[in-house]
A and B are shown apart, each in its own frame.
Chain A
Amino acid sequence: MSGPDISEIERSETFRKYWRKMVTTTIVLFIIWTFFAVWIHLPVQTTKNILIFNGIPLHWFLAAFVAIVGGILLIFIFAFIARKYDEEFKRELRGHA
């Protein structure tokens, strides 16, 4: 990375703000991720009795389809939010310099 020294960047308010936002977003998305990875698969004794699409038990479909699609959406959402933060950060850094 060219420009200001990296340890100066680290101490700057701009970076702290960026890093705080990044960590918060990661934690929020991680919590949503646990929903697809763990929580929806726990109440199987209930979901196994719910039939969807003409005979597929819900607990099965949650693991076979819903969880994967949820994961894909989360990655794309993360990619777009992270790009927004990255660009804001770089704009502000240029503004200060």
Chain B
Amino acid sequence: MPRGLFLVIATFIVYVIIAVSVSFSAGPYFGGLAIILGSVVFYVSVAWIMKAATVEEFYVAGRRVPAVVNGAATAADWMSGASFISMAGAIAVLGYDAMPFIIGWTLGYVLAAFFIAPYVRRSETYTVPEFIEARSGWAVARLVSVVMLFVVSLTYLTAQLVGVGVVISRFLGIPAAIGAYIGVLLVVLYATTGGWKSVTWTQFTQYVVLITMYWLPVMIASYSLGLFKPWPHFSYGEILQELQAREQQFGLPAWTEPYARAFAGGTGQLNWVLSAIVLMLGTIGLPHILVRFYTVPDVHRARLSVGWALVFIGLLYTTAPLYALIARYAFSQVWGMEIEAAKQVGWISKWLPTGLVSIKDVNGDGILQPLVQVNGRLEAELSFHRDIVVVGMPDMFGMVWVISALVATGGLAAALSTADGLLLAMTTAITRDIYKRFINPAVTERREILAARVTLVIVALLAGTLGYLAILDPTFRSYVALIVGWAFVFAASSFTPAIILGIFWRGLNRYGIVAGMIVGMLVALPYVVGVGVFGMPPLEIAGQKIGTIAWGFFSFLANLIVSVLVSLATGGERAIPPDIKRFIVKMRVPE
């Protein structure tokens, strides 16, 4: 057994012993903290051990990993706090109207398998800016794509810190907004260890932790609701009907009723379909996807591992709607209770101090209704942040506190690992692509590392502050999955057309690429910020509101059209130098 692996197992045993003994001696509060913070310390220690002893060994092993293992690692890489912490909560609140998350973030993967995986692998570029520079042969294009990458990644990172803030706040019993800054601390600690991301077997382990922690509470709750006849994913019909009857009783639209609630500020079928398509398109343009196609030995196994990745992602995504139903069923039990009694309900009392749940008796009748009409407006008496649903479900079912701590470690692992990857990508972009290339090419290695560390802390603080502001919003309008959805809007509006056209259309030249990216982002960014953050009224098409995610379809189209027109106007294929033509052919010819 390699020494590194031995040390990892030893560290894990120490972690379990400490967590268990603190849990028994000091009770739920400190026990929960020991499990959660201990897990972070464990990940960081693993990273240090790997770095010291076995990085190379593990990396070489990484080239021999079977497609199945690589698929699981990819799944862990792909699923962030949005999938783990947030998605089921969004579905619990929005019902069918949040389903674009489910189909968007899975079927986009199919597009990635068809249109980019094999070709990008042959291009031998590891990041999107690298690909763009290789395809355009122009440093300016790289600079522009670094700026785009920054917008995408910062948005994505902010969402992860919101997620960490939510999880931390529940266990420390502090306001979640402050939790976001503790998240910054954890992320920086985590990211300085580096390396951890690239080790496929470690990510495989991480996937196992993640999926176990996700399934654990659902399976326990399913069992207590009697859903194992034969299997919860197919036998929740009766519970669902019971829930919907209860909703009718309280004057709510049925949970599965299509287009009854607003998704990302939009309404109607057009918004639903466009939102799903944008999340699919965004998948192709995401900065951290490309590198995953290199870790297996050949193209066939790369294609297979994308399939396995979707199998493993699917294990969580097909479970999220069930998670959502069970959670909604649990909080429907609070409707109709007396206000004071409702405040004493276990999960509500645990989450009240975080500021993520609020109860107010709007109509003053002392009874908690889900929705009441006051002065012609509908107001909620029980409102809560969507991101508490997954981590809070063990509380809703009165499960032993250890389960909620374990679920929290899964959510934290998902958010932190993604945040780590994004931070490293952004830091490299700033120090290597901008500082070293355009500002100070003669920088010494020591200064470069210093610059990277400083950048890392600044970027993390910036994202933490944005996350802080997002949590403070009293309407709980911004949740992790929505903010990640915006990152997909930006990716679809900047990179996706450049990547697809870059592979399949020879006529795309450097001017088309740059003009398209700039126009796409200029169409996307103001709308998302204006409507999503500042609450401006969304555009309406045929009486249907176009939400911030659905809007990405129009910015994607704007990019596509401008890319094609500008390329044609500037000579199209004739303007492409011979070495770029060779690059295009190289992507198409099998290895």
Contacts and interface: CB of A to CB of B under 8 A. Distances in A.
A89 B103 CA distance: 35
B585 A10 contact: yes
Contacts of B258: 44-45, 48, 59
B107 A36 contact: yes
B365 interface: no
Interface of A: 1, 6-7, 9-10, 15, 18-19, 22-23, 26, 29-30, 33, 36-38, 41-42, 44-45, 48, 51-57, 59-60, 63-65, 67-69, 71-72, 74-76, 78-79, 82-83, 85-86, 89-90
A60 B102 contact: no
A6 B585 contact: yes
Contacts of B591: 1
Given A55-B240, A67-B102, A71-B110, 16 more contacts: A22-B588, A26-B114, A38-B276, A38-B277, A42-B269, A54-B237, A55-B237, A59-B96, A60-B256, A64-B102, A67-B107, A68-B106, A71-B107, A72-B314, A76-B307, A82-B303
B311 interface: yes
Interface residue tally on B, bucketed by range: 35 or more
A56 B107 contact: no
B103 A63 contact: yes
B517 interface: no
Contacts of A48: 256-258
B580 to A, nearest CB: 12
A63 B96 contact: yes
B115 interface: yes
B445 interface: no
A63 to B, nearest CB: 4
A4 B321 CA distance: 53
A82 B111 CA distance: 15
Interface of B: 96, 99, 102-103, 106-107, 109-111, 113-115, 118, 233-238, 240-241, 256-259, 269, 272-273, 276-277, 280, 299-300, 303-304, 306-307, 310-311, 314, 317-318, 321, 504, 581-582, 585-586, 588-591
29 contacts: A7-B585, A10-B589, A26-B115, A30-B111, A33-B110, A36-B107, A37-B103, A37-B110, A38-B276, A41-B272, A41-B276, A48-B256, A51-B237, A54-B235, A55-B240, A55-B241, A59-B256, A63-B99, A64-B321, A67-B103, A67-B107, A68-B102, A68-B318, A72-B310, A75-B109, A78-B114, A79-B304, A82-B118, A90-B590
Contacts of A86: 299-300, 590
A89 B235 CA distance: 48
Contacts of A55: 236-238, 240-241
SS of A interface (majority):
helix
Nearest to B319: A64
Given A19-B588, A72-B311, A30 B114 contact: yes
A72 B102 contact: no
Nearest to B103: A67
A75 B314 contact: no
A97 B238 CA distance: 66
Contacts of A29: 114
Nearest to B115: A26
B207 to A, nearest CB: 16
Contacts of A82: 118, 299-300, 303
Nearest to A60: B256
B96 A74 contact: no
Nearest to A64: B321
A72 B273 CA distance: 20
A47 to B, nearest CB: 9
A65 B280 CA distance: 17
B103 A68 contact: yes
